[in-house]
Structure 1
């Protein structure tokens, strides 16, 4: 047996192993749990029996499988030159030219000299989180333009036993819905062509052996890109599968001239053996340590919001808003966010977008009087904007109808009475930056809620599809705002959660998860979101008793218990609350403030107890404290509530366990002494007891919650 030339890159618990193969890119040997036996591996091609029906030199899965010379599965690169410029311009065969190898990273330099192409592939492991960042970059080294149809940001192998897939779908007010499927003989594929991240095809996927909460091998992949994407999982001839993830490109969207390059967005991948919660902890650590850029370099305690949308909508009156701010401050709210309706002639959603100055009818002296009032109350001031959009009924559009994305000779496509401004036009972005800079300079605005309320259609620029350049121009614009006003925090909002990804999160500090504040619906929305994003960036608001989007009605405690495990906000007219309910809301705001450091800096776990109960648990990094909520979503046939095992606490430590809230039980249910004590002064239990025996739960009617605290004593 010939000697095998292997390259391995290790994280703390993850290894990437490649084999040098003659005349080909490096072959994938392993992506998964850390390996310690790679020096004894055998050559992959040297031990495979050769069936008589296969081509000689049947290719293995490499870091860049390509079409034309025996690879019949999905290639990682597709594209070509115009007809008449050589038969080989659509078929590619790359060889390894160089390897840049570091302890936690590898960069492969590849070339196809016949096709006159160069390609760089990078995989880097963050050892603190075991998240792998991957990208690819193609260079045209020929005189004839090369059209790129597809280039995977990452192409990785999956073990044969990983046959369960967790994808994410949804719609407006029902984002991040988990869809579990079994992989079979067909290719599993999800595409997004909406021009923004979208809520019906989130750019992330999880594959595993069982997809359990706390056990089993799982691999997660996410594309950090706020535009179009493709994710595919395909069976291979050797029993494994390949996973490819990258940017979906419209025909002709990327054409490279001589010396030009196309670099993919970055894909983020991680592998773990501790189930879905273990995988989520990898992604949470990575976002916290590597991705988020907080003002002054460190996250401050996330301030409780009041957002004005469901309180006043577009009906703005200065005195009315001041009274709303007064009521908010009395409750302990820390940031007052003025939503849509404040700017020129914005009486409804059919006019005004693009005219970014205060409406003189409602704000004759600008926003300064309201901002000053809010600050005197001890709150920060935030403002809603939607810079990328314009209404046809606006001064901006009447002056510059040519500033919108369009296809020449075709009608423009409106959505929500809006058109999309062409951000690749420097005049457009200069106007938008100057408008935002004027607002941020004239008054102390601490926060922008940056919205984006429609998909891209008829999205052209200069005769080509403009999805990619629009996304890159958006990044440049928001980066320009961040550079000029580094202390301003920005929220990514797009009809709720339609622009939630690591690409936008590198420029922002919060994501508005959904326009739906219905607590029952929010349980599953937030569950899917938290698979990839930590809770401190998840906008989670307590909405009104009567839900704006579903028309369901829920008790305040249920609404609060669901919102506690994100970045808390209030989305209602708090002036209308009865005295007793206002006091209850102030109590929940105080609970959030007491526990936000645990929720926002600790380890999060989620799970189900049967089909009707869901739970979420946040535990401090040192295991000294834990906050738990259990949600009953519907009735079931069980006579008794199951106990909930609590992991993450220290076995030998003793904890004071208290029920901070439990729903009113039916009158015919008899309380036990233990449940009575838990709801009173609490009970002291060891971490081992809480892990092995669990914590008993009180009776819970449908659409209610129990909230439990554990503190070391």
Structure 2
């Protein structure tokens, strides 16, 4: 376990290797990427780069704690100062240890340093799971007795990438258009994405990927980083003319700290959020597969079938009436709904969005007998009951704000403008935290609530508490609140929502069971949002709901069949007002519900795949069973395009040596075509085809009209 003599340490799993040379003063990274069938010492012998002209007179190093002392002129691992001094960290290796399982798959290595210049003790740890995901943790502790406090400006976990990583992919977005991908050449200089919203935000970088030229869903070598943190973020990719040791560039991430947010007095410690690094030689789908398998292996990952949900928001909004909601529940039961979530509008003073937040008491004017009559209706139909909250927010028009104006997060000089007509509650304040925990705990107990929809609708601006930056404290208080609530109610499930997809990260998913990917229920937008959400989050954790024909976020009108297909392949639910639906519509929704129950064992355990198609107006994506026995694919067209034919499109992830039966599933309605006739193999009905034709050669697909989709059920027969 403890080691001192080894010159080279390696962790290996899932075809991935991470190799470090133990040297002084700081160990250096020798390799991160594909596992190597080569003596580890060969990497050490070739780890010295050339000494360039007009450069330091010794070879530059990319250490596990990059600093200027190494000749590294890029972003350092650590930045900060002690009252203006100690700005050039010089960590010296004090000890290290490794822990590799007996089977040699994965393991951990940790390095501990002392730094006489900055007066800190620091630690960096690497843990490679059996799926090939490398988790990096960093910490610093103020150790110098009697010295000035150390202001930490940031810790960044950095790993090297080779010269063949020439393209970058990350994400941006806005409300109702989250996780919009953007590509750029990986040029010289720093590609920096940081957020200042008090949360990851709708424009979160989300995942930073560096890859070989034109890498796609299913091809190319990719190196990726994700910050598992629900506060402010910092992602970077950096290429210097002199390289990074023997490597070409680095990628990394860390918490984005406000000036003065972390000031370490003697004995105080800062633990940086975990950064996950993933290498794949199978494009972004390979990254997704590793991350999904990691998440599904968690002890608290949902194991029971993900129930079909009906959320009341788009059906009734603030119009809470027991008779109307009872009718809605009865219609929901007819179509197979298994969980009802009562959304915004149930608590005191909440008739519009400008009042009541913070007063988490059932409104007696709307619910004179409390929620019990409605809960009984839900339970009588064999359904679970869920309730909407927005605990971290407050309206000034609330009893809470009137009684405790100092609990509102903001500067003493006065609050800035509202956003969505609300402010932020300072939940790091012990009294506010205790109040929220008590109210949530009492309501969950009183109504035996199965499920909470936990919303967080606005950005945090001027997020200071007692004039100190408060985003980190706020985020840690949120984590404590969620952890304590789940400890008290072990069976409780929680959905994280932040104006839709404004807080989707693996930090919040350590404490919740579902993400609301977007407030946008327009299936044209939603299909794109969810496709990229699934690069990080497996489908069973992504809420995907059927909305009304006319989307209330975009005013676009779409066919029922398209809406049903688009909301089938994640954790399905309904927002549409079923009480206004005619019998024919209810019958098709019931058929969709049955199809969801048929396929959810596959959808919620299988491997997510995406075809690399030439026409961006179309997409083919699916889920393939881990044993390759069955797959469900969606062929979708978003808009018109110049091409009249698709050409041969390959269905990824199938076994080329197997034989399959392909069935077009049209229970939800046939997709409208922009053609005179289907390709002959489609028109033939259920057909048997070789895996080689389906996944290597490809097949021609129907030319659909815009905003149309169809389902391919593919089952292995030999």
State TM-score, norm by structure 2.
0.94
Instruction: Give the alignment partner of residue 663 of structure 2, picking from 654, 658, 661.
Output: 658
Shift of 1:699: 3.1
Which residue is 1:317 aligned to?
A: 321
Shift of 1:706: 1.2
Determine the C-alpha separation between the residues in 2 that align with 1:596 and 1:512.
18
CA RMSD of aligned residues (A): 1.9
Q: Which runs of 5+ in 1 are unaligned?
A: none
Other structure's SS at 1:422 match: coil
Q: Which runs of 5+ in 2 are unaligned?
A: 101-106
Which residue is 2:207 aligned to?
A: 204
Determine the C-alpha separation between the residues in 2 that align with 1:519 and 1:385.
25
Which residue is 1:60 aligned to?
A: 61
CA 1:671–1:11 in 2, change beyond 3 Å: closer, same or farther? closer
Which residue is 1:244 aligned to?
A: 252
Shift of 1:203: 3.4
Which residue is 1:631 aligned to?
A: 636
**1:114-153 CA deviation, whole Å, 9 max, x = no partner?**
43211100010001x211111100011112211100111x
Which residue is 1:677 aligned to?
A: 684
Shift of 1:630: 0.6
Shift of 1:493: 0.4
More deviation in 542-551 or 113-122? 113-122
Determine the C-alpha separation between the residues in 2 that align with 1:427 and 1:46.
55
Which residue is 1:361 aligned to?
A: 365
Shift of 1:61: 1.0
**1:73-101 CA deviation, whole Å, 9 max, x = no partner?**
21110001014xxx5x1111111111111
Instruction: Give the alignment partner of residue 646 of structure 1, picking from 639, 648, 651.
Output: 651
Which residue is 1:553 aligned to?
A: 557
Which residue is 1:163 aligned to?
A: 166
Instruction: Give the alignment partner of residue 281 of structure 1, picking from 289, 293, 296.
Output: 289
Which residue is 2:401 aligned to?
A: 397
Q: Does structure 1 conserve the Cα–Cα contact (< 8 Å) formed by 2:8 and 2:20?
A: yes
CA 1:594–1:666 in 2, change beyond 3 Å: closer, same or farther? closer
Q: Does structure 2 conserve the Cα–Cα contact (< 8 Å) formed by 1:665 and 1:699?
A: no
Which residue is 1:417 aligned to?
A: 421
Which residue is 2:94 aligned to?
A: 97
Determine the C-alpha separation between the residues in 1 that align with 2:326 and 2:357.
24
Instruction: Give the alignment partner of residue 497 of structure 1, picking from 501, 524, 536.
Output: 501
Determine the C-alpha separation between the residues in 1 that align with 2:545 and 2:59.
56
Other structure's SS at 1:41 match: helix
Shift of 1:202: 3.2
Shift of 1:43: 4.6
**1:208-247 alignment runs, 5 A limit:** 208-209=211-212, 210-236=214-240, 237-238=242-243, 240-247=248-255
Instruction: Give the alignment partner of residue 436 of structure 2, picking from 426, 432, 435.
Output: 432
Q: Does structure 1 conserve the Cα–Cα contact (< 8 Å) formed by 2:30 and 2:47?
A: no
Shift of 1:231: 0.7
Which residue is 1:131 aligned to?
A: 133
Shift of 1:525: 0.6
Which residue is 2:38 aligned to?
A: 37
Instruction: Give the alignment partner of residue 380 of structure 1, picking from 379, 384, 394.
Output: 384
More deviation in 695-704 or 610-619? 695-704
Which residue is 1:9 aligned to?
A: 11
Instruction: Give the alignment partner of residue 696 of structure 2, picking from 687, 692, 696.
Output: 692
Determine the C-alpha separation between the residues in 2 that align with 1:309 and 1:664.
29
Determine the C-alpha separation between the residues in 1 that align with 2:304 and 2:699.
32
Other structure's SS at 2:173 match: strand
Query: How many residue pairs are counted as aligned between the two chains?
Result: 697
Other structure's SS at 1:497 match: coil
Shift of 1:586: 1.2
**1:173-201 CA deviation, whole Å, 9 max, x = no partner?**
00011111111112101001111121112
Q: Does structure 2 conserve the Cα–Cα contact (< 8 Å) formed by 1:58 and 1:71?
A: no
Instruction: Give the alignment partner of residue 109 of structure 1, picking from 109, 112, 121.
Output: 112
**1:289-688 alignment runs, 5 A limit:** 289-290=297-298, 293-294=300-301, 298-609=302-613, 610-661=615-666, 663-665=670-672, 669-671=676-678, 673-678=680-685, 682-688=686-692
CA 1:233–1:632 in 2, change beyond 3 Å: closer, same or farther? same
Determine the C-alpha separation between the residues in 1 that align with 2:376 and 2:479.
31
Shift of 1:640: 2.6
Q: Does structure 2 conserve the Cα–Cα contact (< 8 Å) formed by 1:69 and 1:93?
A: no
Other structure's SS at 1:285 match: helix
More deviation in 667-676 or 156-165? 667-676
Other structure's SS at 1:187 match: strand
Residue 22 (structure 2) pairs with residue 20 (structure 1): yes
Q: Does structure 1 conserve the Cα–Cα contact (< 8 Å) formed by 2:193 and 2:236?
A: yes
Q: Does structure 2 conserve the Cα–Cα contact (< 8 Å) formed by 1:448 and 1:489?
A: yes
Determine the C-alpha separation between the residues in 1 that align with 2:674 and 2:9.
67
CA 1:694–1:49 in 2, change beyond 3 Å: closer, same or farther? closer
Shift of 1:301: 0.6
Which residue is 2:104 aligned to?
A: none
Other structure's SS at 1:168 match: strand
CA 1:488–1:185 in 2, change beyond 3 Å: closer, same or farther? same
Shift of 1:272: 1.0
CA 1:586–1:80 in 2, change beyond 3 Å: closer, same or farther? same
**1:157-196 alignment runs, 5 A limit:** 157-196=160-199
Shift of 1:389: 0.9
Determine the C-alpha separation between the residues in 1 that align with 2:563 and 2:474.
37
Which residue is 2:103 aligned to?
A: none
More deviation in 268-277 or 574-583? 574-583
Other structure's SS at 1:659 match: strand
Q: Does structure 2 conserve the Cα–Cα contact (< 8 Å) formed by 1:203 and 1:229?
A: no
More deviation in 38-47 or 317-326? 38-47
CA 1:90–1:44 in 2, change beyond 3 Å: closer, same or farther? farther
**1:648-681 CA deviation, whole Å, 9 max, x = no partner?**
3334443221101374555971345532232xxx
Other structure's SS at 2:649 match: coil
Determine the C-alpha separation between the residues in 1 that align with 2:411 and 2:405.
13
Determine the C-alpha separation between the residues in 1 that align with 2:516 and 2:583.
29
